[in-house]
Structures are given as C-alpha cells and as structure tokens.
Amino acid sequence: MKKLAVLALGGNALLRGNEAGTIEQQELNATETLENLIYLIKEGYEIVITHGNGPQVGNILMRNDAGQQLYNIPAMPLDICVADSQGGIGYMIERMMRNVLNKHGIKKNVITMVTLVEVDKNDPAFQNPSKRIGKIYNQEEAERMAREHNWVFKPSSKNPGGYQRVVPSPVPLDIINKETIQLLVKNGNIVIAAGGGGIPVYFDENNDVRTLDAVIDKDMASSLLATNICADEFYVLTDVSFIYKDFGKPTQEKLEFLNYADTVKYLEEGTFAEGTMEPKIRACLNFIKNGGRKSVITEAKKLEDKSYGSKITMEYED
C-alpha cells in the first residue's frame, strides 16, 4: 500500500524575508517549494498539503479596516477572513501544483478544501487571547478600535510602540472534513486542506455549527489532520534544515535523530525556542503519540536527502 504523508508548509513557502507579498512572488515561492514534493510523489506517497496564512489574513483584515473607514463597506468577521485566505492561498497552491505536475508528466487531480476545525468554546485560551493578527496600530488607534469593536490589543512584538489585536488560539479537537479528505486522498488525489489551521467552530445545543473569533495553530491542526486520516508520516517544512538544542547559545547543538522520549525530555527542559520551534515540536510529538510512524522537521529542499541527514525523525517508544 502507498504511504500517506501530510506536509505542513511554513510561511516561507509563500513569503520570504522582506518581500512585498505580490502574487508573482508568492507564486514563484510556492512553485519552488512544490517542486520539492515531487520526490515524495515519485516515491509512491499520497500527500495532503496544509499551509499557513498569517501575512495573508493580516492583509485581509487591513482591507476590512480600510473598506469600512473609507467606503463604509461592512467588515467581515474573522472566520470569513480565514475562509477567504484558505480559498485564495489554496487556489494558488493548487494551480502551481498542477503546473509542477504537468512539468514532470504526472497525472494527478488536485483539490482545495476550505476546512472547518472543531474547538471547545470554553477552551481556557478564550480567557487569555494571545495570538497577534492584523495591522499594527499606534496607541490612539488601538484604543479607538478596542472601543468600537470590543477587541483586545497587546504591544506588538515586531514594532516597539505599536499595538496589535490579539485573539484566542484554542486547541483543535477534530477536523470536521476529515472523512472527505481521507476519501479523496485514498483515491489518489492531492488535497490542500486546513489552511491557516482551519476555521474554528463549535456545535451548539441544537448541533448547529457556530463560529468563534479565534485562530488555530497551523502545525497543531495539521498534526491532528494527519492523525485523523491515519497518515503514516507528518512533515513540518520550515526555513531551517535542522532543529537545535539551545539555539543561539554557546551550548548550541544540532539534533538530527530523536526518539519520542528524548524529544519530550528536551521539551520539558526548555531546549526549544518558545513560540517558534516549540509548537512545531509539540505538533510532531502529538502525531507520534497518536499512532503516527514518523515526524520530520526540515526544509522542503532537503526532502530528497535519502540519508535523512537534514531531517529530524521521532520514532515513538513506549
């Protein structure tokens, strides 16, 4: 039987460095990243692709703000903005993927799915919004937006003196569309799903789907998706070839091969950078703990390195 892999594309797969974020730049970056996935397809893997949406959904929120202020266009809620980014980015990745497949003479269907992800409406994250999204405002603007929209703002981590809206980031519990995704990929289709971590929803007392102003960590949602569809392997593709113990310190050490127990130990010791590498490690551990065979963190261009010298693998050991 063919192996099934879920590949979570990091932000650099679409936007890099100080790029303006034009569609031409994003298409070029996406094409370069997707070229590296051809190796897995030729090796017989079926694949599901997930992706981030941070800069893109931030731009959508800024357009929201500008449209409302300048033209009195009603602003759309956050769940619609996330869905908007899922559709737009997914379409771009799908088109570039189709072109890459055509270049290599590979006949496969590609489909993008706007994905709903169930969360607990009583998740503690809703009492402590922490995920920064959207435009950076000065203090006066932030105070006005907080009054008008009942939003919460915190100092920007990128711009001293600036403020950004913060929203909750609840734990993903279930991928609503998992059966459809699994059916599609088992029939040989490449599926693009769970973009930006998916759209957070919950079920009310009538079992109706309701939305929440929140965002879900992309790697955690991708890991859950990999578990839900019984993937064999889970890849987090980022802008570094390795993860490091004590990154940036005199004791820095490259880590290439890790088992589950050692990775948990390093995590508990605070070895990995909080907010950057740590969530990716937790996502990989969750996949292994829930039955996955292998998790890998690496650059997309290292996928064809058969020695796995540039990959981090974590085999679960009871």
| Residue pair 287/236 in contact by the 8 Å Cβ criterion | no
- Give the amino acid at 208: D
Backbone φ and ψ for 235, nearest 5 degrees, come out as -115, 130
- Give the amino acid at 62: M
Catalytic residue, from 12, 53, 64, 228: name it: 12
Query: Could you tell me whether strands 253-255 and 243-245 are parallel, antiparallel, or unpaired per DSSP bridges?
Result: antiparallel
Catalytic residue, from 135, 178, 280, 311: name it: 280
Residue 312, SS3 per DSSP: strand
- What secondary structure does DSSP assign to 90-135, as a single string? HHHHHHHHHHHHHHTT----EEE---EEE--TT-GGGGS--EEEEE
In the block, tokens 């009054």 appear at 147
Alpha carbons within 13 A on the beta-carbon side of 286:
20
Structure tokens at 235: 């890849």
Is 121 an annotated catalytic residue? Answer: no
Catalytic residue, from 52, 54, 197, 218: name it: 218
| Residue pair 57/81 in contact by the 8 Å Cβ criterion | yes
Furthest-apart CA atoms within the chain: distance in Å: 60
Q: Which helix (H) or strand (E) holds 82?
A: helix 78-103
Residue 151: DSSP 8-state: -
Catalytic residue, from 29, 53, 131, 178: name it: 131
Is 12 an annotated catalytic residue? Answer: yes
Backbone φ and ψ for 115, nearest 5 degrees, come out as -115, 130
Catalytic residue, from 11, 21, 67, 162: name it: 11
Is 218 an annotated catalytic residue? Answer: yes
Angle at the Cα of 113 from the Cα atoms of 214 and 47, rounded to 5 degrees: 110
Catalytic residues: 11-12, 131, 218, 280
